[in-house]
Amino acid sequence: MSTALAVTSSDLVLAGPDRQTPGAHVFAPPREQPLETALAETHALLERHGYLVVVHPSGLPTPFLHRLHTVRALLESHRIALMPVALPPLATAVLVRQLRQLSVCDFSPGVLGAAVRLLTHYLYAGAVLGSVTGLDRVPVGLGAHTRSWLPGSRFAVLAAPVPELVRIGGAGADGEAALTGPQFATRLTVARGPLGGEWATGRLAARWRVAGVDEAPLPGESAAWWGTGKLTEFVAGIPEVSVLRQLVASVRRDLCHWCGLELIGDRCAFCAAPAPPDGGSAGRAAGRGTEGGAGPGPARAAAEPAGGGATAAASPPASASASASAARQDDGPVVADPRGIRR
């Protein structure tokens, strides 16, 4: 059985990189769609595909979140995974596009659902802002707040995987300022706002050595997320499905002791049951998968609970050897390094 993807806004469905990339179902908010219609649409998706992974912002309005849980409960379906994501809007859309690419691969529903949390570690998401006075998603110092009032001030902000802020415009700005970029091959997606995208498509793209630049419409929720309407949003992510496939296939898999689905990370995406502890009796497949391919070695990926809650702050990718060492020391979640994957 296949796995369908769904989102809570049409802004989260970007154009696919090729004709083989499927789309995603868009749930309408409760004020725009009766519950009966939402139930019928969801039931049809399950009948057609078998499983459904719903990716939604962690800050989704409460009535909308309640609607999703109501649909899941009334259908009594363990085949629906609700996956909250704390990334900026454009980054969430890029993540959904990556999942759409992976949905045509032969991954099981549990693995595809848990890949939501894994892939967030490999997205470099930020924005160029005209002011940071309303920004509460990234730590902002008093000096940056003060400089926001100066004419011509602009700031480059990185929200994931590690928060970072540099001043790039206005008096006293550092002309060489740049954000820490990925150490693996990426492609940049830019959503231009009132500030224009010249800095992102020019200086940033060159500094990060991206393979290319794609343009996308600015999501409607971007202004609220970043605290200002004067912005341009950008995201660098892995564009090639072959690399994404090998990255996910390289991660150690367990069998959920509750629902029996495969999982990667510390929790099942569909029933939220925790993964078996190391040395447990549950079935395990280290780095296996029908997709095959030599990856960077087995690693454990953190998985977001299916029931809700904000996604934890993503940590930067670590090498396979470093990840294994960290896992032995504190048994914490680690991620695989895509730099070792052959394309």
Residues 282-298 have pLDDT tens digits of 444 444 444 433 333 33
Same domain for 109 and 132? no
Q: Which amino acid is at 298?
A: P
What count of other Cβ atoms lies within 10 Å of the Cβ of residue 36?
A: 8
d(CA 126, CA 90): 9
Confidence band for 141, pLDDT divided at 50, 70 and 90: low
Position 96 pLDDT exceeds 90: yes
Same domain for 134 and 53? no
From 173, 206, 237, the end of a domain falls on 237
Position 318 pLDDT exceeds 80: no
d(CA 231, CA 215): 15
CB 306 within 8 A of CB 268: yes
Residue 263's φ and ψ, nearest 5 degrees, are -145, 155
Same domain for 138 and 220? yes
d(CA 157, CA 171): 18
Same domain for 205 and 258? no
Position 199 pLDDT exceeds 70: yes
Position 221 pLDDT exceeds 50: yes
Total of domains in the chain: 2
The H-or-E segment that residue 55 falls in is strand 50-57
Same domain for 181 and 314? no
Same domain for 175 and 209? yes
Same domain for 32 and 72? yes
pTM for this prediction: 0.82
From 210, 237, 264, the end of a domain falls on 237
CA trace torsion 114, 70, 97, 166 (10° rounding) = -80
pLDDT digits (tens, 9 = 90+) for 12-62: 999 999 999 999 999 999 999 999 999 999 999 999 999 999 999 999 999
Q: Which of 44-58, 195-209, 321-335 has the lowest mean pLDDT?
A: 321-335
**Which domain does 43 fall in, by range?**
2-122+243-340
Confidence band for 278, pLDDT divided at 50, 70 and 90: low
- The DSSP 8-state label assigned to residue 236 in this structure reads E
Same domain for 311 and 269? yes
Same domain for 115 and 215? no
Instruction: Read off the CATH number of the domain in which 205 is found.
Output: 3.30.1180
Same domain for 29 and 72? yes
Please name every residue paired with 110 in a beta bridge, in sequence order, or none if there are none.
none
So what's the pLDDT on residue 195? 85
Same domain for 51 and 149? no
What b/e readout covers 43-67, taking b as 16+ CB neighbours within 10 angstroms?
eebbeebebbbbbbbbebeeebbeb
From 197, 214, 237, the end of a domain falls on 237
Same domain for 88 and 145? no
* Residue closest to 57 by CA, chosen among 28, 104, 24, 93: 93
